[in-house]
Amino acid sequence: MLAHTRVTLIIGGGIAAYKCLDLIRQLRAAGASVTPVLTRAATQFVTPMSVAALAGSQVYQDLFDLKDEAEMGHIQLSRASDLIVVAPATADLMAKMVGGHADDLASTLLLATDKPVLIAPAMNVRMWQHPATQRNLAQLRADGVQVIGPNSGDMACGEYGPGRMSEPAEILAAIKAHSTPGPLTGKRVLVTSGPTHEPIDPVRYIANRSSGAQGTAIGRALRDLGAEVIFVTGPATVPPPEGVTLHPVETAREMLDACLAALPVDAAIMAAAVADWRVATDFIQKIKKGPQGIPKLDLSENPDILATLSSHAQRPRLVVGFAAETENVIAHATAKRARKGCDWIVANDVSPATGIMGGAENAVHLITAEGSEDWPRLLKTEVATRLATRIAEALT
């Protein structure tokens, strides 16, 4: 799939550098050739010897290594590839790229190249969330740098949150998507998927039957058309797509925060089945049976993520909501489109008899400003492909 693709892989100095060994292996298995460049800090995490052995190539490290200059000058090295991948892209490397520094081989290559650059950031959560890093990220995107990840999860430093480098398979999928540009190449699309879980107490929660199948298929279809997909998912039963920036969340409020943090995006596709209500009281301890009788749960309303994005100052150009109805599907969905202020509503009938919720198929109506279109009953993957194609048409 990546036959004849020449990748220059710049390995930055972070704990995630170890994942690059597997990335090199996967890239070569896909047919790419890999020219590795290590920063000085990277050699603290992976050895040049293991990188060279896996890449089957010389490892470049030093700007002033005369032997390398004789064989391949740094300018030539910066051009002798189809794509430059920076993984892990540390906070420092990102800052250097923004500042146009050229004080070592990696930064000089990045400044001298005329090739597309894809970075896979990895750093401590606080470093990632620091305004300086977020400013740098926005500038790199504005400069045309493609960004994959970071994912959210447990970090090597013991903290939890965004900062984990994307997995090698995810970076590979992004590289593949990049090397075959599609109609959504260069577009950022936010997708929500799955249910939300609203805690009742530390061991119980309110949930719904959404599997995340439709949202996952949409994320995958958008990625396949070249979009950079920011995938915010509740606890779904189907695994998330690869090659997207993954943000797992539990509750509606966490989902809203992750969506707001993803702005600006070109389009937002809100396929999640967000719980409308949460339990108003924070039960720190498990609710016990006892003489006080059956507990009473007071509910409060969750924020409406779709409506919030539809009226946001950084409103995406295209906002798509979903409507899960059990009767008067088109009338309810048309009213919902107006009420939420979104551009399109993908409406479906989720009555148990349809088998749609949790099933492989879906029968939807696309509600737009022009009216309603009835789509035939299709596999959820086919609905996703059709919707992604329509999104591409709307954004180009």
Pairing of strands 198-201, 204-206: antiparallel
Q: Which of 42, 236, 265, 274 binds ligand CTP (CB under 6 A)?
A: 274
Q: In this structure, what DSSP letter does residue 355 have?
A: -
Q: Quick check: 113 and 84 in contact, CB under 8 A?
A: yes
By CB under 6 A, tell whether 2 contacts ligand CTP.
no
**C-alpha separations of 223 from 110, 176, 216, 237, 269 in Å:** 25, 10, 11, 20, 13
Piece in contact with ligand CTP (CB under 6 A), picked from 53-61, 159-167, 321-329, 354-362: 321-329
173 or 252: CB nearest ligand CTP: 252
* 249 is an interface residue for ligand CTP by CB under 6 A: no
- Rounded CA gap, 77 and 60, in Å? 9
Please say which residue, 177 or 232, places its beta carbon nearer to ligand CTP. Answer: 232
Residue nearest to ligand CTP (CB): 305
38 lines the binding site for ligand CTP (CB under 6 A): no
Least distance CB 270 / ligand CTP (angstroms): 4
Q: How is residue 209 written in tokens? A: 């039957």
Which is closer to ligand CTP, CB of 44 or CB of 237? 237
Indicate whether 230 belongs to the interface with ligand CTP (CB under 6 A): no
Cβ closest to ligand CTP, residue 54 vs residue 324:
324
Residue 306 found at the interface with ligand CTP (CB under 6 A): yes
Which helix (H) or strand (E) covers residue 233, if one does?
Answer: strand 228-233
Q: Is 22 in the site for ligand CTP (CB under 6 A)?
A: no
Q: Residue 324, interface with ligand CTP (CB under 6 A)? A: yes
Distances (CA, A) of 224 to 172, 175, 180, 185, 282: 13, 11, 9, 9, 42
Helices (H), the chain: 19-29, 48-55, 66-71, 74-79, 91-99, 105-112, 125-129, 131-142, 168-179, 213-224, 252-262, 305-310, 329-340, 380-395
Build a one-symbol-per-residue string for 169-198: x at contacts with ligand CTP by CB under 6 A, - elsewhere: -----------------------x------
- Quick check: is 157 catalytic? yes
Radius of gyration of the chain (CA): 23
Region from 45-53, 286-294, 317-325, 367-375 binding ligand CTP, contact rule CB under 6 A:
317-325
d(CA 84, CA 10): 7
Scan residues 252-271 and list those touching ligand CTP (CB under 6 A). 252, 270
Map the footprint of ligand CTP across residues 98-137, applying CB under 6 A: none
Among 23, 190, 268, 305, binds ligand CTP (CB under 6 A): 305
Considering the complex, what minimum distance in angstroms separates the CB of residue 49 from ligand CTP?
50
**CB nearer ligand CTP, residue 190 or residue 306:** 306
Q: Which long-range contacts (CB under 8 A, 24 or more apart) does 333-340 make?
A: 333/365, 333/367, 333/372, 334/367, 334/372, 337/367, 339/307, 340/304, 340/306, 340/307, 340/310
Please work out the total of residues on this chain that contact ligand CTP, with binding judged by CB under 6 A: 15
Give yes or no for residue 302 binding ligand CTP (CB under 6 A): yes
Catalytic residues: 157
Binding site for ligand CTP (CB under 6 A): 192, 252, 270, 272, 274, 276, 302, 304-306, 321-324, 336
